[in-house]
Structure formats: structure tokens, C-alpha cells
């Protein structure tokens, strides 16, 4: 077997073993978790707990490069804003992760094109 067929077989095996790798949706350059479902324009519901989603984004978007700040101060609402300081027009400039009434959601803020 030459190098090219072996490479293709390895790639096919990888995609079969990890289907989420190929299914991850990107919005304005931001890769969303596999379980994110679109519920509106730049709005997604995620089937995991708020803390688990923050853990996901802590790995995907390190806090040293993507600052965070709390954005809600109400009983029963948890919310954090994650910034993208290097945002270019058309890419994501911020991400709101929030939990309300037991549902975890995302809202992606896209930087306006000039």
C-alpha cells in the first residue's frame, strides 16, 4: 500500500471514530459544541449544563486570550460574556453564555462589516 491510500484510510477511520469532529458547526469563525441547536439568528440552545458549557469554552477559548465577565445580576439567571479581542469584521466579537429556567443558551455577537 502506498502512502496516499494509507492516508485516506486513516482519515476515514478518524471521521468514523469521531463523527463530531466533522459535524461541529462554525458561526462567524467560532466553533460551537456538537450539541448546539440553532433557535434563532446567532442563538443556540445547548443540551448540557451551564457549568459544563463554560468548561468547554475554557478549553476552546483560553481565558488568557478571551477575557470573561459576568453580565447578569438577577436571581435564577447565570450569564457570562466572553470577548474576542482580535475580532475582524464578519467574525465573532463576543459570546454570551447563559442559563435561564434550566436551559443553557448561547448568543454570538458578530462584528459589523465596514
pLDDT in tens, 65-114: 999 999 987 888 899 999 999 899 999 999 999 998 889 999 999 999 87
Which pLDDT score is estimated for 20? 46
Question: CB-based contacts of 59: which residues, under 8 Å, 6+ apart?
Answer: none
- The angle at the Cα of 60, spanning 57 to 61, to the nearest 5 degrees, equals 75
Domain boundaries along the sequence of the chain: 25-110
Coil, helix or strand at residue 12: helix
Q: Is residue 2 scored above 60 in pLDDT?
A: no
State the Cα–Cα distance between residues 16 and 62, nearest whole angstrom.
28
How much is the pLDDT for 21? Answer: 46
pTM of the predicted model as reported, rounded to 2 decimal places: 0.75
Cα pseudo-dihedral 93, 97, 98, 104, rounded to 10 = 130
Name the 3-class secondary structure at 57. helix
CATH number for the segment(s) 25-110: 3.30.160
Backbone angles phi, psi at 75, to 5 degrees: -60, 135
What digits encode the pLDDT tens for the residues 15-62? 555 544 445 688 999 999 999 999 999 999 999 999 999 999 999 999
Amino acid at each position: 500500500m502506498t502512502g496516499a491510500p494509507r492516508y485516506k484510510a486513516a482519515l476515514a477511520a478518524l471521521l468514523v471514530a469521531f463523527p463530531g469532529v466533522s459535524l461541529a458547526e462554525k458561526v462567524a469563525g467560532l466553533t460551537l459544541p456538537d450539541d448546539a441547536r440553532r433557535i434563532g439568528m446567532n442563538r443556540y440552545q445547548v443540551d448540557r449544563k451551564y457549568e459544563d458549557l463554560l468548561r468547554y469554552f475554557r478549553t476552546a477559548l483560553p481565558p488568557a486570550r478571551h477575557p470573561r465577565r459576568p453580565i447578569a445580576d438577577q436571581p435564577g439567571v447565570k450569564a457570562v460574556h466572553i470577548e474576542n479581542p482580535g475580532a475582524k469584521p464578519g467574525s465573532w466579537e463576543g459570546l454570551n453564555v447563559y442559563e435561564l429556567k434550566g436551559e443553557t443558551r448561547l448568543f454570538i455577537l458578530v462584528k459589523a462589516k465596514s
